[in-house]
Amino acid sequence: MISMVQLLGRVPNQHCSQSMANEMALLAYNRALKLSKPGCAVFGVGFTGTLATSRPKRGDHRFFLSIRASNRIWETSVTLTKGKRSREEEDKVASCVLIQALAKACQVSETLDSGLTDSEVPNESETRFSEEEELEQLIDGKICFKICPFSKAESYGSDKDRKIILPGSFNPLHDGHLKLLEAAMSVSEAGGYPCFEISALNADKPSLTVTEIKDRVKQFEVLEKTVIVSNQPFFYKKAELFPGSSFVIGADTAARLVNPKYYEGSHKRMLEVLGDCKQTGCKFLVGGRNVDGVFKVLDDLEIPKDLSTMFTSIPADTFRMDISSTELRKNQGGVISNAEAWKKNIGFCS
């Protein structure tokens, strides 16, 4: 009971139901996402049941299981013949059905005999989600992020547990973004898997629509670059999603990160929030940026001593970007909306 409350963050209305198994599977899926490497398929499994005990039960002996993947969910429920088996025997049957369901989800031919009788027929279903439905679930906060692993894993070493993440709106994606991530890779001592990240939610702007997200993701598919779509616009939340990662940011963003103004004017609160980020193992790789006509680098900023080890400078001779996506849109007359136009932006900036 206590562990279930800790998992859900609330007292459930009913412990043994298909909806409870589904909710558990979704929580497990989100946890698996946070622990996974880009391109690695993950599942979340939920199981709940009411089986035989030392005392007779009034209700049925039954169990429910759910397996959640990125684009589908498998559901299974079984009602066992009451009084036919001991608790240990019912546990074995339920475990075998769970293993069968996992094998099916992994497309593995299963030969395990579950021990169910002819009258104990599992009620099974599979529901698939479209890309649009997946993104709606992300926007609604049901799933924490979606990885689009367009990169060839062998190009970067698929054994990399750490990620080097360049967040942004990418409206549009351009050559400066690509070169910034390359430069960040070159200065990162720990290494990592390079990813771009788009937040569907924005701290001070309307959320992106499903169509907008799909259009921006398409840019990365064209160029075979891995992109993550999340629902967290704040870095302290990104740090929780991607522990141990390095975030690639501009000097202007770094300045805002350590400015108490963005923490209700509290220097102490700023130190606490970034201290929590530090505890997750996250770091910031800082590139120079043109701010109000002046090129700023990390050394131009006042970083609190306790946080200084979190920030690493990307030298200006390694990377310098003097144009933004906003300027690109102005130069090209608005939002860029097709693959050929995106390709033209590669090489636009130096």
- The Cα–Cα gap between 252 and 237 comes to 19
Where is 147: in which H helix or E strand? strand 145-148
Has residue 303 got a pLDDT over 90?
yes
For residues 166 and 101, state if they share a domain.
no
| Contact present, 145 and 138 (Cβ < 8 Å) | yes
Instruction: For residue 2, name the pLDDT band (cuts at 50, 70, 90).
Output: low
Q: Would you say residue 123 lies in a domain?
A: yes
The pLDDT of residue 13 is 75
pLDDT tier for residue 335 given thresholds of 50, 70 and 90: very low
Instruction: Give backbone dihedrals phi and psi of 79, rounded to 5 degrees, phi first.
Output: -105, 120
Residue 183 within any structural domain of the chain? yes
Number of domains in the chain: 2
Q: Are 25 and 66 in contact (CB under 8 A)?
A: yes
Q: At what angle do helices 210-222 and 131-139 cross, to 10 degrees?
A: 120
CATH number at residue 200: 3.40.50.620
Tell me 248's DSSP state: E
Radius of gyration of the chain (CA): 24
170/173 Cα distance (integer angstroms): 4
| Lookup: tokens for 20 | 């409870």
Residue indicated by tokens 């996506």: 325
How many whole angstroms separate alpha carbon 189 and alpha carbon 159? 16
The pLDDT > 90 percentage for the chain reads 73
Q: What pLDDT band is residue 350 in, cutting at 50, 70 and 90? A: very low
Of the residues 93, 128, 163, the one at which a domain ends: 128
111 and 137 in a common domain: no
d(CA 273, CA 39): 30
Q: What are phi and psi of 13, to 5 degrees?
A: -70, -35
DSSP 89-119: HHHHHHHHHHHHHHHHHTT----------TT
Q: Are 194 and 164 in contact (CB under 8 A)?
A: yes
Same domain, 143 and 103: no
pLDDT at 158: 46
- Are 62 and 92 in the same domain? yes
In this predicted structure, what is the pLDDT of residue 4? 67
Q: Do 119 and 138 lie in a common domain?
A: no
Shared domain for 140 and 205, answered yes or no, is yes
Within a domain: 350: no
Q: Does residue 256 lie within any of the structural domains?
A: yes
CA distance 7 to 191: 33
Separation CA 217–CA 327 (nearest Å):
20
> What stretch of H or E contains 79?
strand 72-80
Q: Are residues 270 and 170 in the same domain?
A: yes
Based on the domain organization, do 170 and 281 belong to the same domain? yes
Point out the domain boundary residue: 101, 128, 155: 128
Domain that holds residue 141: 131-345
CA dist 323 and 303 (Å) reads 25
Position 105 in a domain: yes
